Amino acid sequence: MSQIQNTIAVIGSGPAGCTAAIYASRGGAKVDMYLGSQPGGQLTTTTIIENFPGFIDGIDGSELMQNMQKQAQRFGTEIVSGDIIDIEIDKTNQKPVFILKTIAGAKSYDAVIISSGARAKYLGLPNEQKLVGNGVHTCATCDGFFYRKKTIAVVGGGDTAMEEANHLTHFADKLYLIHRRDEFRASDIMRKRVIENPKVELILNTVVEEIVGEEFLEKLILKNIKTNETSELKIDGLFVAIGHAPNTDFVKGKLDMDEIGYLRPTIGQMTSVEGIFTCGDVDDTHYRQAITAAGEGCKAAMDSLNWLDGVK
């Protein structure tokens, strides 16, 4: 009698999801990978990625994700369009069954890997999304290298903004730190490290009113919220550092997560519910890199396969 093949759903198609699908499919499971609302994840909003191992001259973000998806398909992964809107757990039998719901319907799986990622928060200005990757960025580690000896600005006042600004001072000749208040939420050590840097100039009580540029960022229109005065700031790059939001609304109240919504792994990459695993930016509040997400995707797939072997 032939052995029944285990089924695994991978929710999300960024570096974590694709790597999880590659390992799970190659490990013998029948895998469906749900693309989500942003197929390929945040890397598709970047241009050249220079810090992913194996690409000497760098690689376009969209091209990298297309290659990873094709590699997963090579081992049998099925690609499914759409978002997961809910997960139900059927515990009527000894082995739980996970029912994933989309607008189109529902399907059952033996295990689930959540790699739905996180989305960077933006300012919400009209020209902002048009210039993402062309002067507007949300990741200093990813894109800071392109601004060597340039003039740039960081928007934000928390630890994320300070971490981004501190990293960017290694490249830029001049950095403006723009914050809507005159006090920072950031920890003292992070704040002092940045504001005492001679490359940094503070622009406080100020918001970005407009991002100007056709194909590339040219300048910012700033507004002082105390005086209502506006001014122009010519810069080469803008890094928006006002935080990230994990894509976990569909499992709120069902899995353990922190106050922001990031999933909390327990043993390895397993979540608070046995049979549901997590990987990538959906649980990573610190690194948020393609390579660390891929590494977690590998671990989540291996953990899920080992768990399935144990519950047969």
Q: Considering the candidates 18, 83, 142, 236, report the single residue annotated as catalytic.
A: 142
CA pair distance 249, 261, nearest whole angstrom: 8
Q: Write out the two tokens for 14.
A: 């960024």
139 catalytic per annotation: yes
Please answer whether residues 222 and 238 qualify as being in contact, where contact means their C-beta atoms are separated by less than 8 angstroms: no
143 catalytic per annotation: yes
Residues sharing a CB contact under 8 Å with residue 28, sequence separation 6 or more, in sequence order: 5, 6, 305
Burial degree of 174 (CB within 10 A; 0-12, 13-18, 19+): middle
**Amino acid residing at 238:** L
298 catalytic per annotation: no
CA pair distance 19, 16, nearest whole angstrom: 5
Q: Considering the candidates 139, 236, 298, 303, report the single residue annotated as catalytic.
A: 139
Please answer whether residues 4 and 26 qualify as being in contact, where contact means their C-beta atoms are separated by less than 8 angstroms: no
Please answer whether residues 287 and 303 qualify as being in contact, where contact means their C-beta atoms are separated by less than 8 angstroms: no
- Helix ranges restricted to H, 45-112: 61-74
Q: Considering the candidates 83, 110, 143, 303, report the single residue annotated as catalytic.
A: 143
Point out the residues that are catalytic.
139, 142-143
